[in-house]
Amino acid sequence: MKKFCLIIAAIAIILIAFSLEQGTNIAYAMNKNGDEYDKVFFENVDKMVSDIYQGKATVIATKEVLYDINCAPLGYVYDFTVNEEHGYAILIKNNNGIEMPEVFFDARCPYENVVENGYRIYAYNMLYLYKTNNDVFFAESNEYVSSEELSQISKHAYYSANEYVFSSSSETITFVSRQENKKELAVRYPALIEIANYSNACAPIAAGGIIQYWDRFYENLIPEYTPYTKIGNSYLYKEASETLNSVVIQLYNDMGTNSIRPGTSVMQFKTGVTAYCTKQGYSVNFNSCMTNEYFDYEKAKEKIDAGLPVVLFLDKFSVANINSGNDDAISYLYANGCHVMAGYGYKEINYVLSNNSNRCDRYISVGAGLSIRKRGYFNINYNTQIDDVFSVSIS
């Protein structure tokens, strides 16, 4: 779920050495992180630059996150130069995908003077705002936007179709020795994802996965449906289906998601899961994995060792893939914003590095609730703010 107006998820793309695009005469100086916005930007700019600038051109670009007037991530502004002439492009995501409503050559980016902690807001075509300290200003003139003006603008504004703007990073850990302590509650644990037309639904998605997990022990939790496949003594949980989606939608309604404010509070989560289980004839218990208001990793491990999944309420988060061999290659997707994930295991890795120093990485194995990465490892110390964690026991 998205968080209103509290955390800036600005992403600056660092310039790197020129790379010539195969099949074109256009050279770019930009770190392409491979996301779908970059793809749309490069495809469109390739054609335009080829048409406008005959022969070889050099494009240097950076990008920053754009927000709607509610400070929800909307897209990106690309600030670029072509053969040292300034230009900019606006890319936003709507229900039909990513579009480029504006691109200008020989023009300065309207957001270039926005203060460091300002939200760059794209209201609609040719109207650029920014927000800082709860005040809104016109980006090009720095004039204050009154509440009356903002009310009129909001009637015609673009609104976000995104819940998060993701960034990516990676690292390679080279080690002398490596020891791993790992536990997972299933060979393939639940990993439900977003459902069309149900916004900010990460909490009911996480709860739906936990209901799915416990149905293995209490079959009437999801009536007339087996949400897993058993191979020998191993359990492989199914992914999205109409039945599992209906469980998530029921939990969405039981929790009252979006009824008080965007998303679901911890109390709404617990109330909704309790209501769902009671209707199916079961009881539920929640046990905290916090100590003095801080996440207690050892408590979470104890709960998972006892066969109990955990729920993580986060203010910013990451989901990692780990590829192990002669070294460990770790790729992260991370975002700023409130999110809820379900944890079905843990992985603790202790390294002795080549300089004889020690490193310990601690993860929770999560059903991330995201189509972009369904399962992965949540690093408890990387780009995160942990608000609450608790186990869920159904009987």
Q: For residue range 21-67, what is the model confidence (pLDDT) as tens digits?
A: 333 454 555 444 446 788 888 888 877 887 777 767 788 888 898 98
Q: Dihedral sign for Cα 137, 141, 146, 151, please.
A: negative
| Percent of the chain topping pLDDT 90 | 59
Least reliable range by pLDDT among 22-26, 108-112, 213-217: 22-26
**Token pair belonging to 357:** 């120093």
**CB 31 within 8 Å of CB 16:** yes
The full DSSP string for 33-93 is ---HHHHHHHHHHHHHHHHHS-S-EEEEEEEEEEE-TTS-EEEEEEEEEETTEEEEEEEEE
Query: What is d(CA 138, CA 303) in angstroms, rounded to the nearest whole number?
Result: 51
Split at pLDDT 50, 70, 90, the class of 199 is confident
pTM here?
0.65
Could you give the C-alpha distances from 355 to 235, 323, 324, in angstroms and in order?
Answer: 41, 22, 20
Average pLDDT, the chain: 86
Highest mean pLDDT among 66-70, 155-159, 231-235: 231-235
